[in-house]
């Protein structure tokens, strides 16, 4: 059945902005969904660390004893699915037990089939993570609409911030929300209008550069100020973010996180501040009860 926006709904350039939120929400509202909390990791821009963040979140939840399912919505790259396959291979090769989620790659574009797959893979799960491809698409919009929590990583640069908010290039004055932020909020508003639960949106500065004894750079300070100014306007919370670490990338190729190091005899003595960053991430996402903290080695 075709859905036509109400007469008082502002006209939209569908060719440039995608499907109307009314159509997106209508496609999912009457369908079955699992009891699990759904977390979508999404940003239209690529190269911001979505799969790394999705992977670390999934493993941290598994490490806390929860049942987790991961659905990779990027059948071309399959970054998080391949990393979880590497994790299984590492566990087998080293003969160790690594807490891991159920996972699969979603190869369709249908909202109905996405809902069916969520029910299938997440019927026993406490949490389902959706790793959304870095582009705008009908599937990406449905994933965002289905999410209880939307996690958006962003590199600390005004180039990446441009999809969330538009700023004056000279004065850095906020001009207003940009394409991605407007799309997310239109979907969130339509969900609430239709009686669905809202979506908690967290933007996480990712790949932060550390080690500067003098404190954050001027560019970092400007970025932080711009993000803080944009947050209440665009309707998101700001997470504490994760640093740029070579170890994240190296362990990612093995399907490991820093939470796994005590389980690997060859790496048990490796020290890092990364477990605290992972604990901070889950605390900012408000996914775990206060008493259930991620264990951080002393």
CATH label of the domain that carries residue 105: 3.40.50.300
Q: How many CB atoms lie within 10 A of CB 248?
A: 20
Plot region of 159 (φ>0 → left; ψ -120 to 50 → alpha; else → beta): alpha
Question: What CA–CA distances, in Å, run from 191 to 24, 113, 184, 195?
Answer: 10, 20, 11, 6
The first and second tokens of residue 211, run together, are: 């080690």
Contact 265, 15 (CB under 8 A): no
155 domain residue, yes or no: yes
Give buried/exposed letters for 86-114 (b at 16+ CB in 10 A, else e): ebeebbeebeeebbbbbbebbeeeebeeb
Q: What is d(CA 146, CA 184) in angstroms, rounded to the nearest whole number?
A: 12
| Structural domain contains residue 137 | yes
| Parent domain of 251 | 17-285
Is residue 1 situated within a structural domain? no
String of DSSP letters for 84-151: HHHHHHHHHHHT------EEEE-----HHHHHHHHHHHTTT-SEEEEE--SS--HHHHHHHHH-SEEE
Judge whether 294 lies within some domain: no
The runs of H, that is alpha helices, within the chain are 14-17, 21-29, 50-63, 79-94, 111-121, 138-146, 158-161, 179-193, 218-234, 246-252, 274-285
Say if 296 falls within a structural domain: no
238 contact partners, CB below 8 Å, separation of at least 6? 202, 203, 204, 205, 227, 228, 231
What total number of domains does the chain contain? 1
The answer to whether residue 144 sits within a structural domain is yes
Assigned token pair, 29: 């509202």
Q: Is the distance from CB of 142 to CB of 19 less than 8 angstroms?
A: no
Per-residue pLDDT of the chain (298 residues; tens, 9 = 90+): 444 445 444 444 433 467 899 999 999 998 999 999 999 999 998 888 899 899 999 999 999 999 999 999 999 999 999 999 999 999 999 999 999 999 999 998 888 999 999 999 998 999 999 999 998 999 999 999 999 999 999 988 888 888 899 988 888 889 999 999 999 999 999 999 999 999 999 999 887 665 444 566 777 888 889 999 999 999 999 998 777 666 667 788 889 988 888 888 777 666 666 778 888 888 888 876 534 444 554 4
Domain assignment present for residue 2? The answer is no
With contact defined as beta carbons under 8 Å apart, do 237 and 201 qualify? yes
Query: Is there a domain that residue 297 lies in?
Result: no
């Amino acid at each position: 059945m075709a859905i036509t926006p109400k007469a008082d709904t502002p006209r939209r350039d569908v060719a440039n902005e995608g499907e109307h939120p009314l159509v997106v929400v209508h496609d999912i509202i009457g369908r079955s969904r699992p009891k699990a909390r759904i977390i979508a990791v999404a940003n239209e821009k690529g190269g911001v660390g979505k799969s790394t963040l999705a992977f670390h979140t999934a493993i941290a939840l598994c490490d806390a004893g929860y049942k987790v399912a991961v659905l990779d919505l990027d059948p071309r790259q399959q970054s998080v699915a391949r990393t979880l396959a590497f994790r299984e291979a590492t566990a087998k090769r080293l003969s160790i037990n690594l807490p891991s989620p159920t996972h699969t790659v979603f190869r369709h574009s249908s909202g109905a089939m996405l809902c069916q797959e969520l029910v299938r893979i997440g019927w026993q799960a406490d949490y389902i993570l959706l790793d959304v491809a870095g582009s705008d698409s009908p599937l990406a919009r449905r994933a965002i609409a289905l999410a209880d929590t939307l996690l958006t990583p962003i590199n600390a640069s005004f180039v990446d911030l441009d999809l969330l908010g538009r700023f004056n290039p000279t004065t850095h004055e906020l001009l207003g929300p940009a394409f991605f932020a407007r799309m997310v909020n239109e979907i969130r508003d339509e969900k609430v209008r239709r009686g669905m639960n809202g979506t908690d949106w967290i933007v996480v500065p990712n790949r932060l550069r550390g080690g500067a004894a003098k404190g954050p750079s001027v560019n970092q300070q400007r970025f932080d100020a711009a993000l803080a100014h944009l947050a209440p306007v665009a309707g998101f919370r700001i997470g504490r973010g994760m640093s740029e670490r070579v170890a994240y990338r190296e362990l990612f190729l093995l399907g490991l996180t820093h939470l796994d190091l005590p389980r690997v005899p060859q790496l048990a003595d490796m020290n890092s501040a990364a477990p605290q960053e992972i604990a901070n991430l889950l605390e900012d996402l408000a996914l775990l009860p206060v008493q259930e903290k991620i264990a951080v080695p002393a």
